[in-house]
């Protein structure tokens, strides 16, 4: 009996658990596609993607085309004779011609409950919107942007302690879990029932822009809390506190009526620095000065004792 042949396509750390799920599923991962090496770090040295590093460590052939639009690139993919292509945060749009190459088409692991948050930054957009729940969908890919029918789904609540980083890590593992189930059922010769996405509730998770991380204290405190959590670890929220521009790493909203002008420090203690907002108060508990490292509010107040107490 011929082995079930999988081509995996992915690039960032988020994709690595899914690659491992393919490797341990009983299928044969015949090739890994990932983005070309990019400059990174202070020295701008060409750096391989996390998926490339994992593939090379496992002895899997790696392909890094700039595009899959050429006939030559498609012929190379077809030469691997894939039964299935699994795509997880790859970074390239796949055309209909590419999607048609694998015998069973292409699957995608997407970090949202579709059709909500199609697109590039579903994890952060869910936190920014104050969603109570998110998850991962295993989707059969179509030519549209995250429009394909859903095969399997996993859900998880979003707590007020979740950041972009913690939710990223949890959804990465959930993605591997849902992919493991899907591959296991296919290898057991089951037919997965595809559920078409609803035409209602479609939301697009546009790519994050660094300018979005700027805190506007005329906004409600809860919206600013969402920003702080969503933009940890990148691009990190920024705001001005008592005349100093700071990166804001951790903060939470407090219901509090105040007539103080938004952006004003109304209280500063070890527990945090309370800042008046358009509605409520934002308590900042971890921050970072220019050229320094992340510190607690208590440590920051040691450097700025004039802010301590009520104001």
Annotated binding site for (6S)-5,6,7,8-tetrahydrofolate: 112-115
SS in 3 state form for 239-306? EEECCEEEEEEEEEEECCCCCCCCCCEEEEECCEEEEECCECEEEEEEEECCCCCEEEHHHHHHHCHH
The Cα–Cα gap between 311 and 297 comes to 16
Residues annotated in a binding site = 112-115
Partners of 115 in beta bridges: none
The Cα–Cα gap between 128 and 213 comes to 11
How is 94-138 classified by DSSP, letter by letter? PPHHHHTSSTT-EEEEESSSTTTTEES-HHHHHHHTT-SEEEEEE
The Cα–Cα gap between 132 and 137 comes to 17
């Amino acid at each position: 009996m011929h082995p079930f042949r999988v081509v995996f396509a992915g690039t960032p750390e988020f994709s690595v658990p899914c690659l491992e799920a393919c490797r341990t599923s009983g299928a044969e991962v015949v090739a890994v596609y990932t983005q070309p090496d990019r400059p990174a770090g202070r020295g701008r040295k060409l750096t391989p993607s996390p998926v490339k590093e994992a593939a090379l460590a496992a002895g899997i052939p790696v392909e890094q085309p700039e595009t899959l639009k050429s006939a030559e690139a498609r012929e190379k993919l077809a030469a691997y004779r894939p039964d299935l292509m699994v795509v997880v945060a790859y970074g390239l749009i796949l055309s209909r011609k590419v999607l048609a190459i694998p015998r069973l088409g292409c699957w995608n692991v997407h970090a949202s409950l579709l059709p909500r948050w199609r697109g590039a930054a579903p994890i952060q957009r869910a936190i920014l919107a104050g969603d109570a729940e998110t998850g991962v969908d295993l989707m059969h890919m179509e030519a549209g942007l995250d429009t394909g029918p859903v095969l399997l789904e996993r859900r998880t609540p979003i707590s007020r302690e979740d950041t972009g980083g913690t939710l990223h890590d949890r959804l990465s593992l959930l993605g591997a879990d849902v992919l493991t189930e899907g591959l296991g059922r296919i290898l057991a010769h089951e037919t997965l029932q595809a559920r078409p996405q609803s035409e209602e509730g479609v939301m697009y998770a546009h790519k994050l822009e660094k300018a979005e991380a700027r805190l506007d204290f005329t906004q409600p405190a809860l919206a600013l809390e969402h920003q702080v959590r969503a933009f940890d670890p990148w691009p990190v929220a920024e705001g001005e506190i008592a005349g100093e521009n700071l990166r804001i790493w951790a903060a939470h909203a407090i219901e509090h009526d105040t007539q103080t002008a938004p952006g004003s420090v109304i209280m500063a203690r070890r527990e945090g620095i309370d800042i008046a907002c358009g509605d409520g108060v934002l308590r900042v508990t971890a921050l970072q000065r220019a050229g320094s490292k992340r510190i607690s509010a208590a440590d920051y107040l040691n450097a700025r004792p004039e802010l301590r107490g009520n104001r």
